[in-house]
C-alpha cells in the first residue's frame, strides 16, 4: 500500500489549530491532558461501544464517513450519521449550546 504523501504537510485552519501550532508548550500540555482523558474508563467504554456498533452495522473502517450517532434522548446510539455532523454537535457554534447559554440566567 502506498504511503500518504500529504501526511504532515498541512496543519488545520481553525483558530485552535493555529494556536497550538504557534505555541508548542500549550500543545504539549493539551496532549498530556488528552492522553489522560482518553484513558478514563468512561471514555474507553464509550469508544468501545461506538466501535462495536459500527462493526455491527458494517461501517467500521470502510471509509463511508458515517459514525454511530450520539444524539441525546436516552442511552445507546441513534443510528448512523455523517461524522462531521455527529462530531460538531457539541462544538463552539452548536445551537444546543447557544440555547443552554441563553436560558441559564
Question: If the chain, 105 residues long, is cut into consecutive pieces of 10 residues, what is the mean pLDDT of each piece?
Answer: 71 84 94 93 88 86 81 72 77 64 60
Q: Residue 93 falls within a domain, yes or no?
A: yes
Q: Residue 55 falls within a domain, yes or no?
A: yes
Which pLDDT belongs to residue 88? Answer: 74
Q: Residue 7 falls within a domain, yes or no?
A: no
Q: Residue 9 falls within a domain, yes or no?
A: no
Q: Residue 64 falls within a domain, yes or no?
A: yes
In the block, which residue shows the cell 444524539?
Answer: 71
- Locate all alpha helices (DSSP H) within the chain, ordered by sequence: 15-22, 24-39, 41-57, 83-88, 95-103
Q: Residue 2 falls within a domain, yes or no?
A: no
Q: Residue 13 falls within a domain, yes or no?
A: no
Q: How many domains does the chain have?
A: 1
Q: Which domain holds residue 49?
A: 18-103
Q: Residue 11 falls within a domain, yes or no?
A: no
Amino acid at each position: 500500500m502506498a504511503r500518504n504523501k500529504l501526511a504532515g504537510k498541512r496543519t488545520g485552519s481553525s483558530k485552535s489549530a493555529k494556536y497550538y501550532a504557534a505555541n508548542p508548550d500549550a500543545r504539549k500540555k493539551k496532549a498530556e491532558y488528552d492522553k489522560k482523558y482518553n484513558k478514563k474508563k468512561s471514555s474507553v467504554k464509550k469508544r468501545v461501544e461506538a466501535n462495536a456498533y459500527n462493526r455491527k452495522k458494517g461501517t467500521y473502517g470502510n471509509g463511508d464517513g458515517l459514525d454511530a450517532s450520539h444524539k441525546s434522548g436516552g442511552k445507546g446510539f441513534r443510528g448512523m450519521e455523517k461524522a462531521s455532523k455527529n462530531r460538531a454537535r457539541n462544538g463552539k457554534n452548536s445551537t444546543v449550546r447557544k440555547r443552554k447559554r441563553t436560558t441559564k440566567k
